[in-house]
Structure 1
Amino acid sequence: MSGRLLRLVCTVAVAAGAVLAPLPAAAVPEPEPRERPVADLLTDLQRLYREAEEATETYNATEEKLKEKRAEVSRLDAALSKARLSLYDSRGAAGRLARQQYQHSSTDISPYVRLLLARDPQHALEQGHVIGQLARERAETVGRLTGTEHRADELARKARRALDDQLTLAARQKKNRDAVRGKLVGVEELLASLTAEQLTRLAEFEEKGVEKAQEELTASGALGEDARKPSREGETALRYARRQLGKPYEWGAEGPRTYDCSGLTSRAWAHAGTPIPRTSQEQWARLQRIPLKELRPGDLVIYFPEATHVAIYAGGGKVIEAPRTGERIRISPIAAHPLLGAVRPDDLPGARAPRHAGPAPA
């Protein structure tokens, strides 16, 4: 092409607003996205499960406080109703006394003057006794009325405060419930993003990790000899837990069809006649701590630094646990999760915190 023709083509292209782009080089295929290592996936999944369980235990703690506050509101309402009924009766008695006083004051001669003019001294004494009795009753009625008014006012203030606290706890409970659901959505999204092959490898990798942790724990001698017998209550709690094997995990559940981790342990011990705190954090904080070497069947094993998971020791280095969402109550190695410590519910009565009125249904 001549220089003149080349200049013409360029002029036309610029006039038309065209942009002359260089010819593309040979197409280079984009690299395929790199598959994340199974170890990283397991770390993320375990973190999400742990956060969900921590949120669940926070929800459970709020739920227990809300139950207590509801009971307090009901008790105060009943006491207030009783006080108001007593106040009504006292005001009725005070009204009768006022009418009597008015009637006596409207007569020409007061009862006291009539007493002085009485011909029969014995009759006069009896009249005096009656008048004294009436005066004492009047004073008692006025005092009772005043005291009942004060008590009714105080009960009304307490009832209002308790109701305000209940509403605050209810709002907190909803916030905690939403937090749990949000954490579980994260778990679901991660699992949904994985292929069947990845899920299989993930499960195998996790199982190998648990086996290794169990072997190391056993070899260390941290569990000591496993020949201890459970207490009578511990054996009853363990039998209850065994009967729940295979039932689904459900966050916030206390049975009898579904359980979360602390719902299972608290119900098992309530069934044994030894009520304990509802949440794993409270179980760790308020029950007697024991060395792992002293574990006996029925004791509780606490996991993670925040005490967000709990299981019941079954002996032989095994525990019964409600593991996590999507799984069922099962027997697991004691080293299935990072160990925090162990507690014994039936050796420290002062540490018990009743949460259930009676044995739970099997």
Structure 2
Amino acid sequence: MNRRHCATAAITLVCALALLTAPVQAMAAPVPEPGPAATAPAVAKKSLEEVREEIDTLYRKAGAATDAYNLAEEQSEKQSGEITRLAEAIADGRAKIAELKDRAGAQAREQYRNGGLPPGAQLVLSGDPDLFLTGINQARTSQQAAKGMLTELKQAQEDLETYAKDASLNQEKIEANRVKQAKARKSINAQIAAAEKLESQLAKEERAGLLELERNAASTAQAAWLSSGALKDINREASPAGKQALAFATAQIGKPYVWGAEGPGSYDCSGLTSQAWAAAERPIPRTSQEQWRQLPRIPVQDMRPGDLVIYHGDASHVGMYVGDGLIVHAPRPGRDVTLAGAGSMQILGVVRPDR
């Protein structure tokens, strides 16, 4: 009986514990939903130096896209000019073909008036030996002229077909460049908008601090560059054409940077340098990348005023050396044409338009 009583007591105790436990679980308070502040861990605010570097990167990307846009535009202009030239050639070719056909028609009409007989047959049937001997050379000359005319007509028709194909190909290139321009324009606007948004989020004193950081970074890089002995002679003499280009470029100081602009009221970096050398009657490529690719390169330590200093690994920026370790350049959106240290940015190399 004692075992049975103990078992019964144990079962009773288990049931009691179960009843006591169940209500507690059912009535437990729900876990609160995470509020807005708990959705993600707080993001540490970027330092002003990090913001400066991010803005600088965005503007550099915008500069590279600007170069792509300018190159596509330049190529489109060249191809449009080629299409105009081909259109004139096509018009001339059609006029030449019409003239040759008129001459062939005149010969056919002349043969018809002579009874439809070719000149050689007319001579054989004439019965006059003197006329035959006299006219045989004329017949040969006429045959050679007719043969030459047919050859010329065939060549003119082939040229016309070639011109038409070339014009069609150039039109396709123009359309392809328009697509490139649209993509580049979209990229430029996106990069500039992102950079401007970052700057707009800064307080007034932070913007002043950002400008000071930019100046300090440029000054530090310039001092390191000069102390490295990068230049053998800091003030070489400019060439006559270089002086003209330099006079034009420095006269633009204070005018705003606008991407794609070539003056007279605003410039982008390569718009300034290309127009400066155009003023010196030495046309150069429109973009900094093409200036780097096509113009003669010289050692950095040998550069003189008027030379172009190409910056960054992708050749996306350019300035003109003015002497005393300085360049004149159009920096970026939101800035004006100004003087800066030649070594304040990463130098890729130097080119000389009038070498």
TM-score range, shorter chain: 0.7 to 0.9
Taking structure 1 as reference, are residues 146 and 241 closer, same or farther at Cα in structure 2, changes over 3 Å only?
Answer: same
Q: Provide the rounded CA distance (Å) in 1 between the counterparts of 2:316 and 2:41.
A: 42
Q: Provide the rounded CA distance (Å) in 1 between the counterparts of 2:56 and 2:122.
A: 90
Name 2:318's counterpart in structure 1: 310
Taking structure 1 as reference, are residues 106 and 342 closer, same or farther at Cα in structure 2, changes over 3 Å only?
Answer: closer
**RMSD value, Cα:** 2.8
Name 2:290's counterpart in structure 1: 282
* SS of structure 1 residue aligned to 2:340: strand
CA distances 1:76-116 after superposition (whole Å, capped 9, x unpaired): 11111100111111111112222222333447x95324543
Name 2:64's counterpart in structure 1: 54
The 8 Å contact of residues 52 and 183 in structure 1, kept in 2 or not, is answered as: yes
The aligned amino acid for 2:71 is A
Taking structure 1 as reference, are residues 188 and 94 closer, same or farther at Cα in structure 2, changes over 3 Å only?
Answer: same
The aligned amino acid for 2:70 is N
Name 1:111's counterpart in structure 2: 122
Report which stretch shifted further, 58-67 or 167-176.
167-176
Name 2:328's counterpart in structure 1: 320
Q: Provide the rounded CA distance (Å) in 2 between the counterparts of 1:332 and 1:155.
A: 49
Q: Provide the rounded CA distance (Å) in 2 between the counterparts of 1:146 and 1:79.
A: 16
The 8 Å contact of residues 258 and 268 in structure 2, kept in 1 or not, is answered as: yes
Of structures 1 and 2, the larger Rg is shown by 2
Taking structure 1 as reference, are residues 217 and 69 closer, same or farther at Cα in structure 2, changes over 3 Å only?
Answer: same
Say whether residues 1:298 and 2:306 are aligned partners. Answer: yes
Alignment of 1:160-179 (within 5 A): 160-179=168-187
CA distances 1:195-225 after superposition (whole Å, capped 9, x unpaired): 2122111111111111111222222222233
Shift of 1:151: 1.6
Taking structure 1 as reference, are residues 65 and 22 closer, same or farther at Cα in structure 2, changes over 3 Å only?
Answer: closer
Aligned residues: 327
The 8 Å contact of residues 115 and 128 in structure 1, kept in 2 or not, is answered as: no
> Which blocks of at least 5 consecutive residues in structure 1 are unaligned?
1-6, 348-362
CA distances 1:41-85 after superposition (whole Å, capped 9, x unpaired): 011000001000010011111112111111111111111110011
Correspondence for 1:94 among 94, 99, 104 = 104
Q: Provide the rounded CA distance (Å) in 2 between the counterparts of 1:31 and 1:200.
A: 30
Shift of 1:143: 2.1
The aligned amino acid for 1:280 is S
Name 1:257's counterpart in structure 2: 265
The aligned amino acid for 2:49 is A
Shift of 1:167: 1.8
Shift of 1:20: 5.0
Taking structure 1 as reference, are residues 35 and 133 closer, same or farther at Cα in structure 2, changes over 3 Å only?
Answer: same
* SS of structure 1 residue aligned to 2:339: strand
The 8 Å contact of residues 224 and 292 in structure 1, kept in 2 or not, is answered as: no
The 8 Å contact of residues 226 and 343 in structure 2, kept in 1 or not, is answered as: no
Q: TM-score, normalised by structure 1?
A: 0.82
Alignment of 1:1-362 (within 5 A): 34-106=44-116, 111-113=122-124, 115-117=126-128, 121=130, 125-347=133-355
Q: Provide the rounded CA distance (Å) in 2 between the counterparts of 1:115 and 1:190.
A: 100
Shift of 1:246: 1.0
Shift of 1:331: 0.9
Q: Provide the rounded CA distance (Å) in 2 between the counterparts of 1:154 and 1:289.
A: 38
* SS of structure 1 residue aligned to 2:247: helix
CA distances 1:129-161 after superposition (whole Å, capped 9, x unpaired): 544443333222222222212221222222222
Instruction: Give aligned-pair identity as a percent.
Output: 34
Shift of 1:128: 4.1
CA distances 1:152-202 after superposition (whole Å, capped 9, x unpaired): 122222222222222222222222222212221212221222221221111
Report which stretch shifted further, 311-320 or 327-336.
327-336
Shift of 1:277: 1.7
Shift of 1:125: 4.8
Shift of 1:117: 3.2
The 8 Å contact of residues 245 and 279 in structure 2, kept in 1 or not, is answered as: yes
* SS of structure 1 residue aligned to 2:82: helix
* SS of structure 2 residue aligned to 1:116: coil
